[in-house]
Amino acid sequence: MVYLFAVHHLGFGLSRIQLLGGGIVPGFVLSAFKVDAIFRGELRLTIRSAAWVLAPVVAESVVALLIWHRLPIDLVAVAATFLLVAALLGCIYWRSIPALIAVAVVCTFLYERTLILSRSLETIHVSSKLIDAIEPQAPDGDRFAIADNTITALPPNQEALFGLKSVNFYDSLSSRRYQELVNKWSLSGTLTYGRYLKFLDIESALADPAFPFSNVKVILSKRSLKTDRLKLAAEANGIKLYETITIPIEVLQTPRFKFLNEGEATIAPSAGSANLLSRLVEWLNDFQKIEVTTSPGETLLFVSQQYHRAWRATSHQRSLRTVTANGFYQGVIVPSYTSEVELFFRPFALWIWLPQLLFAVSGTLLLLRSALLIGGRQRGAALSRADSPQPPSQNS
């Protein structure tokens, strides 16, 4: 209920795991304190204390039944969980620390076994025929799109592994503007509050004059797509790769734009003769260098990526104004007689090292203070022993 209220009425784009973790993880921490208190003898094992220990397990089971009930249940995993809970209660009842350590080790290997990679790299396939077919068809940052709901061979959240891009996504924090944009190209829309965009309705997408702004060059489909806006380019693993007839737009410089307000501008999707030449020279995850045509007037540089205020634009150390282009994309206002534009991604998270530095400096100062206090006490004790009268010797 809290999650739905935050998404529908507060405009939050947060993941469900944050709320679930925020509720369940503290419960497991409190359970750990309960177990520790029982082992220390500060608390007796009663029905009430055992209930508090098992409360997070019950909460997690309720959440699983309410949210993940559509998924198949792994009976072996459920049985193993209840056996581990029984073993934990046995460890608490008999207060056996070695048995408790053994249960913890078993839990670690049982639940983390899928993360252990025990195969050599030579035996692992890091590519496929489909990937090898997409790469030459979508070079230099061009995107692809899945237009068939039966294709599950290429999960969209694994594209970074292969250096590919698409408009399909799995993102629990996808923006509202992204969802609004792709909903124009997909009748099914985004699923589960914007977490998934599995496929496009290609007829709707190609009918949109603004679709070339998405920089989609390749369309994937198992079924044959009969349209004069696509041409068959390749086929791999039963999946057909179509190339768009309309040239996709990655960067575009145009003098013909208008402001909707201070932070938004709009341009026509046509790439007519009025548009100026622009070229992406260098591209990194957080940096882009684009050559533009010098113009006596102000122009708009369109970049086919989502607008984010952390993208800062400069030209020869001079800051440039950034705007939202066509309601979603990145735009840069290029002043007259400008020959290049550089985009730097500078999010607030880059300053996260400052608190860590503050903690390190504070810890160092506290250690020095403790060392000085201990040294002062030792010197004071030595001086007091030196000033105290010595007992007479036995010879005297």
Could you give the angle at the alpha carbon of 358 between the alpha carbons of 355 and 360, nearest 5°? Answer: 110
Find all residues with CB under 8 Å of 22, minimum gap 6, and list them.
none
| Amino acid identity at 185 | W
Confidence of residue 156 (pLDDT cuts 50, 70, 90): low
- Confidence check: pLDDT of 255 > 80: yes
- Confidence check: pLDDT of 271 > 60: no
| pLDDT averaged over every residue in the chain | 84
In which residue are the tokens 């534009």 written? 341
For the record, the structure tokens of 363 come out as 């810890």
Could you give the angle at the alpha carbon of 101 between the alpha carbons of 96 and 104, nearest 5°? Answer: 130
pTM of the model: 0.69
Task: Report percent pLDDT > 90 for the chain.
Answer: 35
Query: How does DSSP classify residue 276?
Result: B
- Confidence check: pLDDT of 10 > 80: no
Confidence of residue 318 (pLDDT cuts 50, 70, 90): very high
Confidence of residue 195 (pLDDT cuts 50, 70, 90): confident
Q: Which domains does the chain have, with CATH numbers?
A: 2-115 (no CATH), 129-244 (no CATH), 251-349 (2.60.40)
Confidence of residue 313 (pLDDT cuts 50, 70, 90): very high
**Mean pLDDT, range 71-75, rounded to an integer:** 68
| Amino acid identity at 173 | L
In which residue are the tokens 């998405």 written? 214
Top-ranked range on mean pLDDT: pick from 90-94, 101-105, 215-219, 225-229: 215-219
Q: What is the pLDDT of residue 178?
A: 87
Digit-coded pLDDT (tens) for 81-132: 888 888 888 888 888 888 888 988 888 887 777 666 666 767 767 778 888 8
Q: What is the pLDDT of residue 153?
A: 65
